[in-house]
């Protein structure tokens, strides 16, 4: 079964060297970008990749 995937960008709150959440002073959040079958799946993958809380997941059209 071939599941269609779409491109997603997931913004997250990074952690410092001690594992504490370290939000940006400028308000710009870092992101990871990849293909996934849904926004929920993308957020789950982003959390596992970064180890950080995901703030927002955006589907990229095109």
Show pLDDT as tens, one digit a residue, over the chain (62 residues): 457 899 999 999 999 999 999 988 888 999 999 999 999 999 999 999 999 999 999 999 97
Check residue 8 and give its pLDDT. Answer: 98
Structure-token match 């789950």, residue found: 44
The distance of Cα 36 from the centroid of its chain, to the nearest Å, equals: 11
Backbone angles phi, psi at 16, to 5 degrees: -85, -175
Count CB-CB contacts under 10 A for residue 5: 13
Please list, residue by residue across 24-60, b when 16 or more beta carbons sit within 10 angstroms of its beta carbon and e when fewer do: eeeeebebbeeebeeeeebbebbeeebebebeebeee
């Amino acid at each position: 079964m071939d599941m269609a995937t779409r491109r997603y960008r997931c913004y997250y709150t990074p952690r410092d060297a001690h594992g504490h959440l370290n939000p940006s002073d400028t308000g710009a959040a870092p992101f990871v970008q990849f293909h996934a079958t849904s926004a929920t799946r993308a957020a789950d993958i982003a959390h596992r990749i970064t180890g950080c809380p995901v703030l927002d997941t955006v589907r990229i059209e095109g």
